[in-house]
């Protein structure tokens, strides 16, 4: 591909700001959606929800600056934008409802630095255990798990037994957002396509405001925006003194292991534009950034901060690899994160509008996981068994009624009811111990089972 600006090249200041704004526009919706979805599911008040959005923006910005510019051993010094990941949504909701957000943030506080720094230190030793088959299945189940959440928001959000749930105007707003995003993505090029999701949310938001003014429906209220301060500093312990429980810690530890592999993939995606893989120092610095700012951010009420795949696509699409452009993005994010009014504006967006966007983003996440598998893996008997078992268990626990786990101890119910945990753990174990080229123990050895008669490929 043609490279407009290399990693260490600096575009003119005005151009750097415009390019930085483009990165910001692409990531601000999915990054804030994580805080929005988790906060709504655990019943946060409007002010607390605004605060969590603010913290996600602030620590995403700080982490982005460090990731791109570097600070000692921390930072990959690559154009990698950081944000809050959907990987942790299911666990944050379940643990938040069962134990409280103090336990959620306490678990992140411990596991962020511990797991990511350990992986960064010993990366080469464990890399083989997470081939595309395993990481692709994890990404796929993350998307599939989020689809029902997106549909619930599209119908109006909680409470599901409320009078506005499933109304035509809520479903219509969600459909409008989805249609606009799809049309812009498929029928346009350049900036319009890149910003299709953001543009669709703006269109849906304007339509919701018009409905509010024209019909008397209270879909949008700016009361919280008027009451929010222009500037506010982070508050450590906003959701209570962090609490540390074994099962939530183990849950988040495994998710950070999965998230680390996503970050590795994102860094590899960036450097592939130069025709190379990241160096060990870049891998280590990038993972150190993930862990450090996930833990520090948790002390102030931010969800885990990891690399953002959408922005890797922009880097490759535009050919602008300059880490100074991404540094500008980080500075802008941090400034926005210091203003509660920005978070308050996000919370005024109706659930149905966000629902249409979440449906699209969830589907794209799932499609990305499927693409990762199909590109790198043969669909033979062994790999299809790994996929079938892993997805079956993950979707099974995601869709099973809560009574299915009523006889289990609470720790077991919390850990094993997580779709990402069940899919990731089963994929990791099956892929490791089943002979095949994807296995770190038996890589390159022929399978003992004969290949399927159907034309689904072979493992050789």
pLDDT greater than 50 at residue 308: yes
- Measuring CA to CA, which residue among 314, 306, 308 is closest to residue 273? 314
3-state secondary structure of 71: strand
| Residue range 232-258, pLDDT digits in tens | 788 888 888 899 999 899 989 988 987
| Residue range 76-115, pLDDT digits in tens | 898 888 988 778 888 898 899 889 999 999 999 999 999 9
H helix runs in 11-100, sequence order? 13-42, 46-69, 89-98
> Band of the pLDDT at 26, cuts 50, 70, 90?
low
Contact 343, 228 (CB under 8 A): yes
Rounded CA separation 457/451 (Å): 8
Token pair recorded at residue 359: 């449906």
The pTM is what?
0.72
H helix runs in 301-380, sequence order? 309-318, 323-337, 340-347, 351-376
| Residue range 369-404, pLDDT digits in tens | 788 788 888 888 899 999 999 999 988 888 887 777
Rounded CA separation 190/184 (Å): 10
Question: How many other β-carbons are positioned within 10 Å of the β-carbon of residue 241?
Answer: 9
Chain centroid to Cα 306, Å, comes to 8
The dihedrals phi and psi of 360, each to the nearest 5 degrees, come to -65, -45
Token pair recorded at residue 363: 């589907």
Stretch among 98-112, 328-342, 343-357, 389-403 having the lowest mean pLDDT = 343-357
| Count of helices and strands (H, E) across the chain | 19, 2
| Residue range 144-199, pLDDT digits in tens | 877 887 888 888 876 666 777 888 888 898 999 889 888 887 888 766 776 677 78
pLDDT greater than 50 at residue 458: no
- What local confidence, expressed as pLDDT, does residue 283 receive? 86
- What local confidence, expressed as pLDDT, does residue 347 receive? 72
Residue whose token pair is 């901060």: 305
Rounded CA separation 105/101 (Å): 6
Average pLDDT over residues 25-54: 82
Q: Which helix (H) or strand (E) holds 263?
A: helix 246-271
* Burial of 87 from C-beta contacts in 10 A (0-12 / 13-18 / 19+): buried
- C-alpha atoms less than 13 angstroms from C-alpha of 42 in its C-beta half-sphere: 26
pLDDT greater than 80 at residue 273: no
Contact 139, 262 (CB under 8 A): yes
The dihedrals phi and psi of 320, each to the nearest 5 degrees, come to -100, 100
């Amino acid at each position: 591909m043609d490279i407009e600006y290399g990693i260490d090249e600096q575009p003119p200041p005005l151009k750097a700001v415009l390019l930085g704004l483009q990165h910001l526009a692409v990531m601000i919706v999915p990054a804030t959606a994580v805080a929005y979805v988790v906060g709504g599911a655990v019943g946060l008040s409007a002010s607390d929800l605004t605060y969590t959005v603010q913290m996600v923006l602030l620590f995403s910005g700080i982490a982005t600056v460090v990731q791109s510019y570097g600070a000692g051993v921390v930072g990959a010094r690559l154009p990698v934008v950081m944000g809050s990941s959907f990987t942790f949504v299911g666990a944050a909701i379940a643990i938040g409802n069962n134990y409280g957000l103090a336990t959620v943030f306490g678990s992140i506080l411990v596991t962020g630095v511990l797991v990511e720094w350990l992986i960064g230190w010993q990366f080469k030793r464990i890399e083989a255990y997470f081939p595309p088959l395993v990481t692709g299945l994890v990404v796929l189940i993350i998307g599939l798990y989020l689809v029902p959440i997106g549909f619930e928001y599209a119908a109006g959000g909680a409470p599901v037994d409320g009078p506005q749930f499933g109304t035509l105007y809520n479903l219509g707003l969600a459909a409008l957002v989805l249609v606009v995003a799809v049309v812009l993505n498929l029928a346009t090029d350049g900036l319009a396509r890149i910003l299709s999701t953001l543009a669709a949310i703006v269109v849906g938001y304007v339509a919701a405001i018009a409905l509010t003014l024209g019909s008397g429906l209270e879909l949008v209220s700016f009361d919280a925006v008027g009451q929010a301060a222009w500037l506010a500093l982070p508050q450590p312990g906003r959701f209570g003194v962090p609490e540390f429980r074994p099962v939530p810690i183990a849950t988040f530890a495994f998710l950070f292991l999965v998230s680390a592999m996503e970050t590795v993939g994102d860094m590899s995606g960036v450097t592939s534009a130069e025709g190379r893989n990241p160096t060990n120092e870049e891998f280590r610095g990038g993972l150190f950034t993930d862990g450090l700012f996930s833990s520090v951010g948790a002390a102030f009420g931010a969800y885990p901060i990891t690399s953002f795949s959408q922005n890797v696509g922009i880097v490759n699409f535009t050919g602008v690899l300059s880490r100074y452009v991404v540094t500008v993005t980080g500075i802008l994010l941090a400034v926005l994160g210091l203003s509660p009014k920005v978070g308050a504006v996000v919370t005024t967006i109706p659930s149905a509008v966000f629902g249409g966007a979440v449906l699209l983003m969830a589907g794209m996440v799932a499609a990305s996981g499927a693409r990762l598998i199909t590109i790198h893996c043969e669909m033979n008997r062994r790999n299809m068994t790994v996929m079938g078992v892993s997805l079956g268990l993950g979707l099974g626990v995601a869709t099973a009624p809560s009574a299915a786990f009523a006889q289990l101890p609470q720790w077991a119910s919390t850990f094993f009811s997580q779709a990402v945990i069940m899919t990731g753990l089963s994929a990791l174990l099956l892929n490791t111990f089943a002979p095949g080229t994807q296995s770190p123990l038996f890589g390159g050895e022929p399978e003992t089972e004969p290949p399927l008669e159907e034309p689904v490929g072979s493992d050789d």
